[in-house]
Amino acid sequence: MLQEMVFAGFGGQGVLSMGKLLAYAAMKEGREISWMPSYGPEMRGGTANCVVNISDERIASPVGSMFDVAVVLNLPSLHKFESVVKPGGVLIWESSTIKEPPTRTDINVHALPAIEKASNELKNVKVMNMLVLGALVGIMDIVKKESLIVALEDTLPKRHHKLIPLNEKAIELGMSLVSSGA
């Protein structure tokens, strides 16, 4: 089965690394993957996005026009991607900063106050993207949490490994937020 996902937000919110980590974790689980970033000037503080495909078979197109999952962390991204979620698909949106909620009713919409939770409960807004990723795998069961941890270990430079427990906590918090229906 092919899962087409898009992650979007401001540059610096960690959307590209969120997608990369998910793709890497899926690769470790033996699946086919592709990660395609938007690149260019928008990386510098503007809106960035990446498309991640995970499949059991050879991935045809690394880009797509309709997605099974959209994760949006700012308003411009919500405007851009709400309309391209496939009917029945999943939309996760950052509800502590986006003040215009999505309007579609034919998709599964999950409001996630990720920035607020990361700041208040983890005292570190930088791991907000891991919290979102935790929520995503909590909802969709795309990869195992353990695979995400392996991905962190493999891709983070050694000097940052001390941050892995915090990232793990963020993933777990994200998972708990969706299981409790937040």
Partner 1 sequence: MSADVRFMKGNEAIAEAAIRAGLQGYFGYPITPQSEIVEYLAIEEPKHDYVLLQAESEVASANMVYGGAAAGARVMTSTSSPGFSLMQEGVSYIACAQLPCLFVNVARGGPGLGTIQASQGDYFQAVKGGGHGDYRLIVLAPNSVQEMVDYCILGFELADQYRTPALVLTDGSIGQMMEKVVLPPPIAYKPNKPWATTGKPQDRERNAITSLYIESEEMEAVNNELQAKYKAISENEVRYEGYNLDDAEVVLVAYGVTSRVCRKVVDLGRDNGMKVGLLRPQTLWPYPTAAISELADESRVKLFMSVEMSAGQMVEDVRLAVEGRKPVHFYGRTGGIIPTPEEIINAIKAQL
Contact with partner 1 (CB under 8 A) among 62, 83, 146, 160: 62
Q: Are the C-beta atoms of residues 9 and 96 closer than 8 Å to each other?
A: no
Distance (Å, whole) CA 49 – CA 10: 8
Residue 57 CB, nearest approach to partner 1 (Å): 10
Ranges within 91-120 binding partner 1 (CB under 8 A)? none
Using alpha carbons, select from 9, 16, 26 the residue that is nearest to residue 137.
26
Contact with partner 1 (CB under 8 A) among 11, 17, 27, 108: 27
Decide: is 179 part of the binding site for partner 1 (CB under 8 A).
no
How would you class 75 by CB atoms within 10 Å of its CB: exposed for 0-12, middle for 13-18, buried for 19 or more? Answer: middle
Contact with partner 1 (CB under 8 A) among 11, 29, 55, 64: 64
Rule CB under 8 A: which residues touch partner 1? 20, 23-24, 27, 32-37, 39-40, 59-66, 155
